[in-house]
Amino acid sequence: MGLAPRVPDNAGKKTAANSRRGDLRELGPYRILRLIAVGGMSEVYLAYDPKHRRQVAIKVLAEHLAPNMTFLNRFLREGKLSQELSHPSIVDGADYGRDTASGKYFIVMEFVDGPTAQDRLEKQGRFPVAEATRVILDIARALDYLHGEHFIHRDIKPGNILLAPDGSARLADLGVAKHLENSSSLTTLDQGVGTPYYMPWEQSLNACLVDPRSDIFALGATFYHLLTGHVPFPGDDENEIAQKKNRGVYVPATERRRSLPPFIDNILDRMLARDPRKRFSTAQEVVEVMTASGLADGRPVDDSDLHILEPQPLAPTRADLKSHVEVDTPLAPEQETVWLVKYQRDDGGWRQVRGRTRELIMLFEEGALPDEAIAARETSKVFRRLKAYPEFRLVERKVVKRENPLRRPRGSAISGFARGILGSLVLTSSVILLLGISVAAIMRLLACQP
């Protein structure tokens, strides 16, 4: 439910976990074949459905949670939703209820004969780019359907994505899905709903503060993980992770994997924006951009050909309003990232400066750093445009940039001559005024000269 069950390495061996299969040979009409996964809230078994003559997966609620009405209602609600919501990229539900013989609560689902995306990451590392993109496309289509039905999944992560043998991906675990029109459902445990590494900042404050863009953030964090093998916002505890999300700063995917096309950073920046209004507005937009990118076909387009959709204005939501409450605690100076910045001087040479994030922001705002400046984190020494980094992308000038008086604008010989004449006239006018002679009279004299 909260955490996807993981397939034990010794699932086929005689273990204490498998010995429980001896006590559980049937659930209703379904014949138990073997235990395939164990989680803190449930166990998953492979079973046989004699009525439809097929294998199915059966999730069984952990015995110690059955007396807890909150967990029990959530489990039964998942079973109900799995039957009501049907999409090719969502795991199908077939049945749910309570077995009268054992007293166990269970959900019957289609059996997807493949690992979770989390299993793949742990065993094989990061995904090939084309495969990662196809997985995200499938899940984005599933989210587009769920959001159209007014549900928010609230727990998108690699552990809740099943990889089928045909290469398709299925979204699993609707246990914490929230209906947008029902603000009272499952509020008791809403504060802890979701997985810290993937859920957005507003959800970490209160899981009721979600809308479709919250799932898009989690999908972006999942995409980042599949591409790089790392989560975008690592941390030792939930508080540290939440603080990093609140600042909205993470290592660009192209720095962790240099072969990625640069526009992937643009897509991820949109999906992982701290402010929900800066994210893609709908899952369909994600599908359109991913499809247009050519990544799923292994033929990425030139980034100049890829149009990243601009955020569509929406009515402010609770997530929007909460996202603008200033609760961030500034980093101590010694904790801030140190940058190397280079830019070209007026004489054609290059100047390099070193500074921390807030110092460079101030220099840019005041016009001391040009738009063409390039920067690198001191630890990486890989230079990119300053505005390509999330830390500086939204920084604006506070004052109009002053023109360097020592730097002459480029222009034609005629414009240079005209500037010289204008300067001479200004100087001559000043002298004439001192002598008490009218400027107009002198101009008439100049006009009569051959």
Task: Return the closest-CA partner of residue 221 out of 196, 202, 246.
Answer: 196
Q: Alpha-carbon torsion 168, 201, 82, 280, what sign? A: negative
The first and second tokens of residue 289, run together, are 């951009």
Is residue 155 among the annotated active site residues? yes
Q: How far is it, in rounded angstroms, from Cα 300 to Cα 291? A: 10
β-strand partners of 38: 6, 43
Please give the single-letter amino acid code of residue 103: G
Q: What would you report as the CA-atom Rg of the chain, rounded to the nearest whole angstrom?
A: 31
What is the count of structural domains for the chain? 4
Task: Return the closest-CA partner of residue 99 out of 67, 131, 73, 60.
Answer: 60
SS3 429: helix
Q: Domain ends where: 110, 130, 155? A: 110
Please indicate, yes or no, whether residues 366 and 442 belong to a single structural domain of this protein: no
Contacts of 229 (CB under 8 A, 6+ apart): 121, 125, 126, 256
Contacts of 94 (CB under 8 A, 6+ apart): 49, 56, 83, 108, 109, 110
Per-residue pLDDT of the chain (450 residues; tens, 9 = 90+): 333 333 333 333 433 444 444 478 899 899 999 999 888 789 999 999 999 999 999 999 999 999 999 899 989 999 999 999 999 999 999 999 999 989 999 999 999 999 999 999 999 999 999 999 999 999 999 999 999 999 999 999 999 999 999 999 999 999 888 888 765 444 444 445 668 899 998 888 777 778 999 999 999 999 999 999 999 999 988 888 988 888 888 999 999 999 999 899 999 999 999 999 999 999 999 999 999 999 998 776 655 445 554 444 444 554 554 444 433 444 455 556 888 888 887 777 778 888 888 888 888 887 888 888 888 887 765 777 888 777 887 788 875 544 444 444 444 444 444 455 445 544 444 444 444 444 444 444 344 443
Please indicate, yes or no, whether residues 157 and 275 belong to a single structural domain of this protein: yes
Please indicate, yes or no, whether residues 34 and 86 belong to a single structural domain of this protein: yes
Please indicate, yes or no, whether residues 104 and 133 belong to a single structural domain of this protein: no
**Backbone φ and ψ of 357, nearest 5°:** -55, -50
User: Among the options 95, 138, 144, 155, which is catalytic?
Assistant: 155
Q: Domain ends where: 110, 129, 148? A: 110
407 falls within a domain: no
Indicate which CATH number applies to the domain containing 101. 3.30.200.20
Please indicate, yes or no, whether residues 306 and 193 belong to a single structural domain of this protein: yes
Neighbours of 409 (CB within 10 A): 8
Task: Return the closest-CA partner of residue 253 out of 276, 271, 282, 227.
Answer: 227
231 falls within a domain: yes
H or E element at residue 22: helix 16-23
Range of the domain at 52: 16-110
